Amino acid sequence: MKVLICDPVDPKAIAAMREADIDVDVNDDVTPEGLEEIIPEYEAMVVRSRTTAREPLIDKATNLKAIIRAGVGLDNIDVEYAESKGIEVRNTPAASSNAVAELAIGYLFALARPIVQATNSMKGGKWEKKQLTGTELAGKTLGLIGFGRIGSLVGSKANSLGMEVLFYRRTDVEVDFATQVSLDEVLERSDYLSLHLPHTPATHYIIDANAFAKMKDGVKIINCARGGTVDEDALYEAIKSGKVAGAALDVFEDEKEDRGRKLMELPEVIGSPHIGAGTVEAKDRVGQETARIAIEIAERS
């Protein structure tokens, strides 16, 4: 099987594929135009978030048997169209779950205690001790919107910190560390809200102006899931009005141009450039799982 690596992947994963007699080409800075030209040569392609696999590319991929997403989200792949063409689409959802969950927990602490603001203040030569009083997480309510692998990990970790954990998801599930409730109840009761769901037509702007109106005054928002699930204009207005006391964002609706610059101008907002899965351990696990999937597909070919 001939595989094209379109985005940077752990070198150990590439070595493992080659050891399994897979013909691997690494072209991890290929342009969209260049990819369309060379894709007919390959039976599988490995992508991360940079490379998209949309209908025009899939139509040119006449020999493609598999698209492997080294990561969780499949937003950059036209999955149904690919599968209609007989192309298998796989990802590595479990490999980076803990890394994203730990970032969300880190943001919980950073919203409760103004760690970022305190650091910036001291770097500016100030000693603003009284102005940097925080709150404790123990005894507060965390609402999770989405409760899959990552959401349940966040809930378990938050419960161990003494938080009451509520969650909303479309299907029923029972756990001993959290309570499933309606979306409205999550919005109305939570001191902190954390999103853990994909961006789909059904979840687009699931947090909008109407949702903010249902929340407690002084609520704090975390989004380490996907841009487009929060209406950023509505979030901006909710922060300016004081409805939302703080927000921590690892993802933005437009990560190519604006990069959330308007929101990041607000002192109540802290953020990062989509680094949820960016740990040494997660990258290693993603690479291992990507290699395992490629080898499995090659053995079936």
Q: What is the pLDDT of residues 68-103, one digit of tens each?
A: 999 887 889 999 999 999 999 999 988 999 999 999
Highest mean pLDDT among 87-91, 251-255, 275-279: 87-91
Instruction: Count Cα atoms within 13 angstroms, Cβ side, for 114.
Output: 17
257 contacts: CB under 8 Å, gap ≥ 6 = none
Residue from 72, 74, 101, 100 nearest 87 by CA: 74
Q: pLDDT band at 57, cuts 50/70/90? A: very high
Question: How many CB atoms are closer than 10 A to CB 70?
Answer: 29
Q: Active site includes 281?
A: no
pLDDT of residue 256: 67
Q: pLDDT band at 49, cuts 50/70/90? A: confident
Average pLDDT over residues 241-258: 90
Contact 224, 100 (CB under 8 A): yes
Residue ranges per domain, the chain? 2-93+280-300, 97-271
Q: Active site includes 50?
A: no
- Distance CA(277)–CA(196), nearest Å, equals 13
Spell out the CATH class of 97-271. alpha beta
pLDDT of residue 45: 98
Average pLDDT over residues 20-44: 96
Average pLDDT over residues 210-231: 97
Residue from 202, 214, 193, 91 nearest 147 by CA: 193
- Distance CA(22)–CA(9), nearest Å, equals 15
Average pLDDT over residues 177-182: 98
Q: pLDDT band at 258, cuts 50/70/90? A: low
Q: How many residues does the chain have?
A: 301
Same-fold call for 2-93+280-300 versus 97-271: yes
Average pLDDT over residues 46-63: 95
Out of 83, 255, 281, 299, which one is annotated catalytic?
A: 255
pLDDT of residue 292 exceeding 80, the answer is yes
Q: pLDDT band at 247, cuts 50/70/90? A: very high
Out of 90, 199, 226, 285, which one is annotated catalytic?
A: 226
pLDDT tens for 105-131 read 999 999 999 999 999 999 999 999 999
Spell out the CATH class of 2-93+280-300. alpha beta
pLDDT of residue 254: 86
Out of 149, 189, 259, 274, which one is annotated catalytic?
A: 274
244 has which bridge partners? 219
Residue from 46, 75, 41 nearest 61 by CA: 41
Q: Active site includes 274?
A: yes
Of 72-76, 144-148, 208-212, the poorest mean pLDDT is in 72-76
Mean pLDDT computed over every residue of the chain = 95
- Distance CA(292)–CA(147), nearest Å, equals 27
Average pLDDT over residues 46-66: 95
pLDDT of residue 259: 60
